[in-house]
Structures are given as structure tokens and as C-alpha cells.
Structure 1
Amino acid sequence: MGDICVFCASSAKVDQSYLEEAYLLGEVLVENGYGLKYGGGAVGSMGAVANKVLELNGRVTGVIPYFMVQVEWEHKGVENMIHVETMAERKELLIKDIEAIVVLPGGTGTLEELFEVLSLKKLGQFTQPVILVNTNGYFNALNDFLNKMIDEKFMRPEHGELWHIVDSVKEIPEALKNIPDWDEDALKFAAV
């Protein structure tokens, strides 16, 4: 199996349930033969998922900009750490050569990564599954808003397949088996 890219938060102040779900994600990845590709941080959900994968001797690739290294956000235990100049380079490398993207609850950085990938997928520039883990109903309002975009004809009905939602990381392996391939040619540059 290849790598799963995980978008998630660096805040350690969040409710413990979010960190536990990130920790469990690390376990799910290793048990199913996937490597972790993530933003290289050491704390919050980032640190939790990386720590669990490392604890289980799984594969971890971090991608982090130099400015984050300078403020000591880098996970020191990740040997395969790629340093880049910009956030844009980071995102580009994170989504290269991966099996899927898993999005855990997070803040503006996590959402910015998610929306860039959804936009790329809509334009046929990215075709892998994007799975949102809806811990504590975190993504309910976002899912409603995305569906409102479809209802109001800012996106086509087919664009509702850009993302998939699971309630727990335990559902990810089954979801990956059942998510249909994204037809990049049929939807490429598709207007509403």
C-alpha cells in the first residue's frame, strides 16, 4: 500500500477526543499497510497521528516549511522529513503520489488545504479520494454548506462526490474500497 496524506491540526488545546481519533488513525494506517504523509508537526493531531505510526514502526513522511522548523514545530522523531520554502510547495508535495487524503478536524490551515484539493479535484487535476472524519459532528456544518453550493448551483450535483464523510477513522479502510474512481475526463473544467 502507498501513503495516505493527512490534513489535520497542530493545536494541543483541543478536546482530547480529537487527539485520540488522530492517534487511532495512526493505528488504522499501519494495520492496513498505509504510510503516513503529513505536515511534519510535533503537536496536536499532527503529533498524535505521527507518534502512533512511529510507535508501530510504520512509514512516516513529513513535509514542513523552513519557517516552521525555525520556530521548532518540526517533529524530531520523523526521519523522512522534507524541508521546503513555502506553504504552496508543502501542499504540492503532500498530495503527490498518494492513495487518498484523510482530513481530520482542524482550523483554517486544514480547511485551506481541503478546499484547494477539492478545487483541484473538481478541475480534474487531482483524482484520489478525499475523506473527512466527522469526529463529534465537526464537519456537519461544512458538509451542509458544500451541499448548499450544489443546491444553489455554484457546483454541479456530481461535485457532491468530491468528498466523502465517515464518523470514525475505523471506517476509512472500508470507505476506500467503496469510493468510486473520480472520472477526471468527464468533469474536467466542468462548468455548473
Structure 2
Amino acid sequence: MSGITSICVYCGSSNSVSEKHLDQATLLGQRAAEKGIEIIYGGGRVGSMGRVADGALTGKGRVTGIIPEYLQRFEVGHTGVSELVVVDSMHTRKMQMFERSDAFCILPGGLGTLEEFFEVATWKQLGMHDKPIILINLENFWTPLTDLIDHQIECGYLRQKPEDIYSVVNSIEEVFQTLESLPDSRVKPDITLL
């Protein structure tokens, strides 16, 4: 896919997680910077959020953080990014992250990360966009989620094959290989429907 100039990274904001996960977040930012791909993310300076931003910045990449005013009041915003956009709500944050991104990468994370994944995956399932969505399954973190989705299919609640909605990779290097192998986007999202 030649048209990828920005990726949205959904991930956790806790430092109390696997150091390997934090290191891989740094690597994702570094690799994106090397390829001239902008990072769009939630604007935080801690956990995987901070690490992916710092990785890209170390590689002289562009990083745009989008953070709601509510969280910015707690001083968790990353003031060293290329652009830090402070918005009025979580909904506005998610919409701006969607609009500015050509693809979505999901690192390990908590409830917020799950919610973000399910939102863009649902929109894709409904045909509202066809931007790539990549689950980065570090140390099999997302395997229980993919097993659940397989169970939903078996029970008749989901008709599409998972690979028609998202890709699963096990390493950061596979992220960029996958992006390069996917066809260019054909659906122009109708933001009024999202």
C-alpha cells in the first residue's frame, strides 16, 4: 500500500506493564519515522503512548497527539510532540484521530484500547471505511480477543471473516510488511455517518 502517510496507534498508558511491550512501542515509533510515516496517537507521555511518541521523535519523525482537555488537566500530555491538539471530549479526540490516519495499529492496552479497536473495526465491518487495521499480537496478548471473535463467528453473530476486517501480526516488522502488501483504500469515509 503506497498511500500510507500516517498511522493511528491505539495503546495503553500504563508504565506497570511488560517492559518488552514498552520497548516494542518505542520500536514501532522508530520504524514509522524511518519510513516517513506520521504517528497519530492519544497524546499521552506515559506508558506505551509515551514510548511510541518518543521512538518516532528520536527518529526525527512527525508525531501528532490528540488529547481531551479532561486528561490534559492531569498534565499527562506529551509536550515534546510535533503537534499536541487539545480537544473538548473523548469523542472529538477519536474522530480527529480517525480523520488524520491512513491505517490503525493496535498495541497491547486496556479498556480504552479495546474500545478504540472495536469502534474502527465496526465501522469497517459496516463498509464505512476500508483503512487497514492491524492487531499487534505481542506475546499472544490479543489471542483471547481473536478467540472471542472466532467464537462470535461460530455462533452466527459475525458473518465477515476476521481477515476482511483486520490483520494480526506478531512483530513490529510485520506491521510494515502487512501495510505494503494491502491494496489501496477505495472507500472515502463519510464522516457524517461516523
User: TM (normalized to structure 1)?
Assistant: 0.91
Could you tell me how far apart the structure 2 residues matched to 1:24 and 1:175 are? Answer: 16
> What is the aligned partner in structure 1 of residue 23 from structure 2?
20
User: Which of these residues, 47, 50, 75, is aligned with residue 50 of structure 2?
Assistant: 47
> What is the aligned partner in structure 2 of residue 153 from structure 1?
156
Could you tell me how far apart the structure 2 residues matched to 1:164 and 1:79 are? Answer: 29
1:58-115 CA-to-partner distances (Å, cap 9, x unmatched) read 0011100001110011001114111111101110000113221000000000000000
Could you tell me how far apart the structure 1 residues matched to 2:104 and 2:151 are? Answer: 23
SS at match of 1:37: strand
Which residue identity is paired with 1:133? I
User: Which of these residues, 73, 91, 95, is aligned with residue 94 of structure 2?
Assistant: 91
SS at match of 1:96: helix
1:6 equivalenced with 2:9 (yes/no) = yes
Once the two structures are TM-superposed, the CA of residue 183 in structure 1 deviates from its matched residue by 7.0
Once the two structures are TM-superposed, the CA of residue 181 in structure 1 deviates from its matched residue by 5.5
Gaps of 5+ in 1: 186-192
1:113-147 CA-to-partner distances (Å, cap 9, x unmatched) read 00011111111122100001001100011001111
1:74 equivalenced with 2:82 (yes/no) = no
Could you tell me how far apart the structure 2 residues matched to 1:41 and 1:174 are? Answer: 27
Aligned length: 185
SS at match of 2:99: coil
1:120-175 CA-to-partner distances (Å, cap 9, x unmatched) read 11111221000010011000110011111111111113454211100001111110
1:116 equivalenced with 2:119 (yes/no) = yes
Asked if structure 2 preserves the Cα contact closer than 8 Å seen for 1:123 and 1:184, the reply is no
Which residue identity is paired with 2:117? L
Which residue identity is paired with 1:57? K
Once the two structures are TM-superposed, the CA of residue 2 in structure 1 deviates from its matched residue by 1.3
Quote the RMSD (CA, aligned, Å): 1.6
Could you tell me how far apart the structure 2 residues matched to 1:149 and 1:28 are? Answer: 34
Gaps of 5+ in 2: 189-194
CA gap of 1:179–1:153, structure 2 versus 1, over 3 A, is farther
Asked if structure 2 preserves the Cα contact closer than 8 Å seen for 1:122 and 1:159, the reply is no
> What is the aligned partner in structure 2 of residue 102 from structure 1?
105
User: TM (normalized to structure 2)?
Assistant: 0.90
> What is the aligned partner in structure 2 of residue 172 from structure 1?
175
Could you tell me how far apart the structure 2 residues matched to 1:25 and 1:59 are? Answer: 13
Which residue identity is paired with 1:55? T
Could you tell me how far apart the structure 1 residues matched to 2:135 and 2:40 are? Answer: 16
